[in-house]
Amino acid sequence: MNYKPAFILTGESKPSVNALVFATYEEAQRNAQDKFAVWTQPIEYTVIETEDAVNYRYDFTNSQTVPLKEVSDE
């Protein structure tokens, strides 16, 4: 199972997500925590499970979200 950061926005009852998918709960949670600290619309953040393919990782040393490079079949 993979994980997406999700945000509850003012006036909404369901979490909103974007295309970021992480391999671990901890990566998604840290990304959500970082975004929540600087965004003004969310009133809460959480992490949801997904079967979507992982496309990002979280660099805990530098506190950065890093896209995974696409693998070419060439």
| Contact by Cβ (8 Å): 53, 22 | no
Where helices occur in the chain by DSSP H, the ranges are 25-38
Say what the pLDDT of residue 71 is: 46
Say what the pLDDT of residue 69 is: 83
Question: pLDDT grade, residue 72 (50/70/90)?
Answer: very low
User: Residue 39: how many CB atoms within 10 A of its CB?
Assistant: 11
pTM, two decimals, is: 0.82
At 67, list the tokens. Answer: 């896209």
For 13-69, the pLDDT digits (tens) are 899 999 999 999 999 999 999 999 998 889 999 999 999 999 999 999 999 999 998
- Whole-angstrom CA distances from 1 to 4, 42, 51 are 10, 25, 6
Residue 27, helix vs strand vs coil: helix
